[in-house]
Amino acid sequence: MQAIGAGIARKNNTRTVPWSVDGDIVQLIGKYRTMKARILVVDDDEALAEMIGIVLRNDGFGPVFCGDGAKAFEVSQANKPDLVLLDLMLPGMDGIEICRLIRAESDVPIVMLTAKSDTSDVVRGLESGADDYVAKPFKPAELVARVRARLRPGDVKPPETLVIGEITIDVAGHSIRRAGEKISLTPLEFDLLAALARKPWQVFSRELLLEQVWGYRHAADTRLVNAHVQRLRSKIERDPEAPEVVLTVRGVGYKAGS
């Protein structure tokens, strides 16, 4: 099957906005309200978005579309999606700023769609709050795998409390406290910290964390791990530049502090 995002022609090298946000989106809100998982697709490329929609529907998801960066946050607030697929390059407002706005208000998983493979763009997206990214062109199976990995339901967990230094992790309650003060983490950041805390004696390679936390069973970009560790440290460490909770083991990966 042809990769999504490959060979899509654009008239006069312009990118068109295929949806009337004020009309079509309002209708879509009601139409997909009963779907099991609602996916907000923010991309102004009509042909690409249409193909993504087909792939998502075939796998039982309910896509909702927005092609205008300036309207994306509003549409996200109105639809309360279970996951956001967010293009990096958009008219009105770029994907980086949209990601920051959504992340400031919600822990919803965000997967960037980007035609850029430049390190700085990928890192900027992850630092702005994205959980993952997919580089165009991508195969349908790859996109669905990324979506399912971020939406995978957690098993019912027995009571479990993990401790790293001043940090206390209530696994079942999905909450973190430092010296009694609650800390807000995204679901992915929580899973990353819990994975390290469960085995404080173990040094985790980036590849192992990608498998255990992100759910990848194949080679993936280890920059995902680095960016999320930095974000996690900024929230849980008293001094992120001198971490005591999440430690770096040079040449290997990361481990929990004592």
Q: What is the CATH number of the domain that holds 110?
A: 3.40.50.2300
Residues of the chain under the 70 pLDDT cut: 1-35, 116-119, 153-159, 217-220
230-241, pLDDT tens digit by residue?
Answer: 999 999 999 999
Do 26 and 70 fall within a single domain? yes
Q: Residue 38: what pLDDT?
A: 94
Answer yes or no: is 214 within a domain. Answer: yes
Q: Are 254 and 229 a contacting pair, CB within 8 Å?
A: yes
Phi (first) and psi of residue 158, to 5 degrees:
-70, 165
Instruction: Please count the structural domains in the chain.
Output: 2
CA distance 114 to 48: 12
Q: Residue 102: what pLDDT?
A: 94
Whole domain around residue 227: which residue ranges? 161-256
Q: Residue 121: what pLDDT?
A: 74
* 35: CB partners within 8 A, 6+ apart: 60, 61, 62
> Exposed/middle/buried for 215, CB within 10 Å: 0-12, 13-18, 19+?
middle
CA distance 164 to 200: 8
Do 134 and 188 fall within a single domain? no
Domain end point (choices 151, 184, 204): 151
H-state helical runs in the chain:
26-31, 46-58, 69-79, 95-105, 119-127, 140-151, 187-198, 206-209, 223-236
Phi (first) and psi of residue 128, to 5 degrees:
-80, -10
Q: Residue 122: what pLDDT?
A: 77
Answer yes or no: is 4 within a domain. Answer: no
Q: Residue 25: what pLDDT?
A: 44
pTM: 0.67
Angle, helices 187-198 vs 223-236, to 10°: value is 90
Helix (H) or strand (E) holding 163: strand 161-164
Do 179 and 77 fall within a single domain? no
State the CATH number of the domain containing residue 234: 1.10.10.10
